[in-house]
Structure 1
Amino acid sequence: MQQTKLQVKYNTAPKRKLALVSLLLASFMALMDTTIVNIVIPDILTYFSVDLSKVSWVTTGYNLAFGILLISASKLADQFGRKKVFIGGLIAFTLTSLLCGISTSIQALIVFRILQGLTASFIVPVTMPIAIDIVDKNKKGLIIGVWGAVSGFAAALGPVLGGILSEEFGWQSIFFVNIPIGIITLALATFYLRETYDHNASKKIDYLGSITLTISLFCLTFSFAKASELGWSSQPIILLFISFLATFLLFLFIEKKAAEPIFPLNFLKVRTFTFSSLTLFILGVSLTSGTLLITIYLTNVMNFSSMKSGLIISSLAFSSMFTSIISGKFSDKLGGVKFSFFGMLGMCISTFLYATLNQDSSLYYIILLLCLTGLSLGMVIGPAMGSSIRQISENKVGIASGTINMMRAVGQALGIALLTTVLTMNISNYISIAKNESIEIVNNSKILKTEVKSEIISSLKSDTKITPSSNSIVTDKIKVAETKALQNSPEIYHAEIKKQFKQQEQESLKIFKEVSKSFSSNIDKAFSDTFILAGILSFFGIITSLFSDVNPKRKYKIYNL
């Protein structure tokens, strides 16, 4: 077979297959870790005794670090060797997985997750260009489809595997599982991968571009994450937004002037690349509702175990695999627009339908919505990735691959930061409403004594969630008061005293049922409002998908940028 400068010879079919297996395993592992933590967030909350806004950084930190360095890692791999960068990333990823698993504080876990995300950015963007180099040119579309399918399936399967592992072995096991996978992948990559380069790439590295992009994205994500704590109009949040805007504009200026930019702005001239990247960015934001928010709802609101929640979410993973195979097979022939459009439409519809969930929702209904999300995800990710590089010359696929993966990862990071912040604020607001409604219910009771009302109201003010123990605390105090009254009264009045206190107990039980209903209803509204926001954001992906590809049956231009 005649080879280009970038191509290397894989002498036998088994070697090709083992090389591809190493790439798929590594990509699967790194992408799965973007979502695997979602299912164990309640366990980490309890283990370290911290709040949601802090724990969300275990996920956000990984996704942000992963997204920020993808382009830089792609550039380094093109210049200095993709195999070197890939193997270095694998070793570092395996080590940081171990460090995450043995973390003794939430601060340490966040730091190690950020480092793990940085190492993942040296794995994912190089897998596709190496894979394209391994197979024949006529199978390029198939490889892109397979990579898209694996990407979607890995992200969707994360919560499933996380739920099973955490239930059986503890939440730390979701990190330890990477160690044997990493070792196997490292062995395969060492023996069966061959080194490839972009021979047109310069050895210069755009340090200023990398630094300004990193600062810019950090400021934006951190502002979203801290808004619930400080308030959107607070001085620190406003300063973070201003810093984001200033550093992003500086980044664009640097990239325009740089001889070897980390992000070639002329890529934006390629319509298919630009709109596919935007579609994947919005997909990353949308995916948060189908993984993280639903996970929190199932575990914290519906009180399902991590394993049960993971198995429920598995419907998303397996349904995405089904459409990924179909879209990957046909999008290269039919074009990606049809698949991306209907996929984003399905994502938008399913996200809005999540807003209809309540604590009495049928399990079958939840699974149906997750299947719709999964089917939609599978229709988007492969075709959008294929469309993004369709008009990009082969020697620039590496940097293009890094960019599109960055867009999706940053979308996920921003989605997590924004939607968890909005959810936290919504829960706080609706809990306040529930407390006011509940206090009114208590005060309107004509049976409860003043001291019992005060006890219930005191319990309501200190609780953020009404549980059976909330009522038992009050009933226990009623019984103590009853015992005291009986001791201080003649026996002739005991029957009447018992009757009065029995009425107090029954009334308090009735009151707590109404109060519990108010709290449940308002918690559902908090999630509903958050899902509606996610649905509105995903709507823009429908628009961008319409411009994400060319007709592959017609002749189209290849840009050698």
Structure 2
Amino acid sequence: MPAASAGTTASTAPTTDAMPTPHEKPWRSLVVIAFGIMMVALDGTIVAVANPAIGASLGATLAELQWVTHGYLLGLAVCLITAGKLADRLGHRKLYLVGVAGFTLSSVAIGLSSGTGMLIGFRVVQGVFGAALMPASLGMLRAAFPGHLLNRALGVFSGLIGTSAAAGPIVGGLLVSTLGWQAAFFVNLPVGVVAVALAVRFLPANRPTDQSSSFDLLGVALLTISTFGVVLALVLAPEHGWTSSATLVPGLVGLAFGVAFVLWQLRAPEPLMPMSLFRSVPVSVGTVVMLVMALAMFGSMFFLTFYVQGVHGLSALETGLQLLPLTALLAVGPPLASRLFDRFGLRWPILGGLVSSAIAMFGMSTLGVDGGTGLLPLWLTLLGAGLGVVMVGATDAVIGNAPVSLAGVASGMQQTLLQLGGSLGTAILGAVVSGQVGGNLAAQLTAAGAPAPTATQVAEWQTVVAQGGAVIPEGTAPALAEAIKHASNVTFVDGMSLAFTVAGVALTLGAAISALLKRGEHTGEAVVHV
């Protein structure tokens, strides 16, 4: 690391501020920890497959099905940083066990739910326990591995998670089609039992890393309200619009409490998340890069699914195969990427990964309606390879350069950024697509020979077209119906192209920011005292 700011020193030597010595079998610990995390990653993508069956079984509306996902996201995002602080105070192993056990039991409760309200409530609870599990896992890795092995461990760890997420739709499809939607949640019971048994048997003794004498309850309250408001606004924006009171009120409340949280952290005697943590250049750059990476990854996958299914008519299985270059590289790329960090440090691999991802986004912005998906595998390969490197590098920058006493807080912050970036990706890029569709749909339909729609009709059809579909009135002649479908697809692809251009610009800015990293700032080799 470069010379630290005032009040911050950097050292490659071990410290005595509650820093545990890396234990003898860190790789075994990684496998045990990943077993619990893989359950969470698998569950996330299984639920998407189970949603149609849940709706049919419980009579859920589309809005209720969306809250099956939103409820989990809120429970997770709101609690991540606080859970990370608790892990530092109580010990990462203890909170990991609480998280795994709670996630498993809440999964069973979800499967036993008799109504959508009950199901959504337990999904929120499941998100809270997921928040306990995730920062504790990364905190244990930070403490278990010596600095020169940390990036390699994070690469393997990310690859295992990516593999689980990629397998989710396949496993979920098999479970839901043969045993019903409940099986998508009941499957966590045997996995969770094994995860707890392995953790009890093989994880090293629980050792708190934060010896603070008090807990920042005011900071927890301010951060909780802030995160809840911001995430709720991002969740509601696509449905209600950015200027509606349903979006603005929670968003502004969240931002106001966020400012209050930062001001309090600057003066609190023992803050929840010390602002001095950001005096480390790698930590600050890593937070920005993580946010941009998540925005591009989640936003692109969201609209690519609509593109290949709605515009080109591919089935769910064909869609999965079409996206395989991206999902496969997100699974196998991170372990390979860690070798780059061993050799070149943080800056050049992260910068290269962001540039590769930006090129992919600009390339996907040229996709058309009639040209098929011929170049899509190339762009997905560039995107998957780039994001796989950036994911490990940004995680390294945040966690590897934070003091061990704040490993849980840093891990919670990294996971919060990932969740916020994903929400921003779908919300912001969704607004771009929706706005482009609303502005161009009437002209495209008129040019195709369809009757000019009214403003009310455009508003009603906008959501359908922004998801790659088309609204064709009953009784429309086949030729005109085809023309309407084509015009709708052109409108959607124009909006998607603009959204991918926006994502490409964001990745380019992220690449410029990553250039602030220095060659000597190599993950795990420095410990920052705050």
TM tier, smaller: 0.7 to 0.9
Map of 1:524 onto structure 2: 493
* Amino acid in the other structure paired with 1:250: A
The alpha carbon displacement at 1:22 in A equals 1.6
Map of 1:225 onto structure 2: 235
The alpha carbon displacement at 1:134 in A equals 3.7
Q: 2:152 aligns with which of 137, 142, 151?
A: 142
| Larger CA deviation: 399-408 vs 377-386 | 399-408
Contact 2:353–2:385 (CA<8 Å) still a contact in 1? Answer: yes
Change (3 A) 1:166 1:38: same
Contact 1:216–1:247 (CA<8 Å) still a contact in 2? Answer: yes
Q: 1:278 aligns with which of 288, 293, 308?
A: 288
Q: How does 1:339-358 map to 2 (within 5 A)?
A: 339-358=349-368
Higher helix share: 1
Change (3 A) 1:555 1:431: closer
Per-residue CA shift, 1:448-493, capped at 9, x if unaligned? xxxxxxxxx9xx999957999968x538xxxxxxxxxxxxxxxxxx
Q: How does 1:489-500 map to 2 (within 5 A)?
A: none
What TM-score do the two structures reach when normalised by structure 2?
A: 0.82
Measure, in 2, the Cα distance between the counterparts of 1:316 and 1:115.
31
Change (3 A) 1:247 1:529: same
Q: 2:380 aligns with which of 345, 370, 374?
A: 370
Q: How does 1:22-421 map to 2 (within 5 A)?
A: 22-38=32-48, 50-51=61-62, 55-103=65-113, 105-135=115-145, 138-155=148-165, 158-159=168-169, 161-162=171-172, 166=176, 172-421=182-431
Map of 1:535 onto structure 2: 504
The alpha carbon displacement at 1:527 in A equals 3.0
Structure 2 alignment gaps of length 5 or more: 1-13
Map of 1:493 onto structure 2: none
Contact 1:319–1:375 (CA<8 Å) still a contact in 2? Answer: yes
Q: Is it true that 1:474 corresponds to 2:443 in the alignment?
A: no
What TM-score do the two structures reach when normalised by structure 1?
A: 0.78
* Amino acid in the other structure paired with 1:25: F
Change (3 A) 1:289 1:98: same
Per-residue CA shift, 1:140-171, capped at 9, x if unaligned? 34223323434555555555655565566555
The alpha carbon displacement at 1:81 in A equals 2.0
Change (3 A) 1:123 1:42: same
* Amino acid in the other structure paired with 1:224: L
The alpha carbon displacement at 1:108 in A equals 4.2
Measure, in 2, the Cα distance between the counterparts of 1:63 and 1:250.
23
Per-residue CA shift, 1:237-271, capped at 9, x if unaligned? 33334322311111112212222211111101111
* Amino acid in the other structure paired with 2:511: I
The alpha carbon displacement at 1:77 in A equals 1.3
Change (3 A) 1:44 1:526: farther
The alpha carbon displacement at 1:80 in A equals 1.3
Measure, in 2, the Cα distance between the counterparts of 1:405 and 1:519.
37
Q: 1:514 aligns with which of 466, 479, 483?
A: 483
* Amino acid in the other structure paired with 1:522: T
Give the paired residue count: 507
Larger Rg: 1
Contact 1:431–1:464 (CA<8 Å) still a contact in 2? Answer: no
* Amino acid in the other structure paired with 1:184: V
The alpha carbon displacement at 1:528 in A equals 3.0
Measure, in 2, the Cα distance between the counterparts of 1:43 and 1:424.
28
Contact 1:275–1:544 (CA<8 Å) still a contact in 2? Answer: yes
| Larger CA deviation: 513-522 vs 60-69 | 60-69
Map of 2:7 onto structure 1: none
Change (3 A) 1:99 1:556: closer
Structure 1 alignment gaps of length 5 or more: 444-456, 476-507
Change (3 A) 1:553 1:17: closer
Contact 2:142–2:399 (CA<8 Å) still a contact in 1? Answer: no
Contact 1:159–1:313 (CA<8 Å) still a contact in 2? Answer: no
Per-residue CA shift, 1:424-447, capped at 9, x if unaligned? 555555555555555x5469xxxx
- Match of 1:403, SS state, is helix
Measure, in 1, the Cα distance between the counterparts of 2:21 and 2:525.
27
Measure, in 1, the Cα distance between the counterparts of 2:189 and 2:208.
31
Change (3 A) 1:511 1:385: closer
* Amino acid in the other structure paired with 2:512: I
| Larger CA deviation: 197-206 vs 104-113 | 104-113
Contact 1:272–1:388 (CA<8 Å) still a contact in 2? Answer: yes
Contact 1:38–1:291 (CA<8 Å) still a contact in 2? Answer: no
The alpha carbon displacement at 1:341 in A equals 1.0
Change (3 A) 1:177 1:337: farther
- Match of 1:386, SS state, is helix
The alpha carbon displacement at 1:539 in A equals 3.1
Measure, in 1, the Cα distance between the counterparts of 2:227 and 2:118.
22
Change (3 A) 1:372 1:299: same
Map of 1:485 onto structure 2: none
Measure, in 2, the Cα distance between the counterparts of 1:19 and 1:132.
11
- Match of 1:69, SS state, is helix
Map of 1:558 onto structure 2: 527
* Amino acid in the other structure paired with 1:512: A
Contact 2:346–2:523 (CA<8 Å) still a contact in 1? Answer: no
- Backbone CA RMSD of aligned residues: 3.8
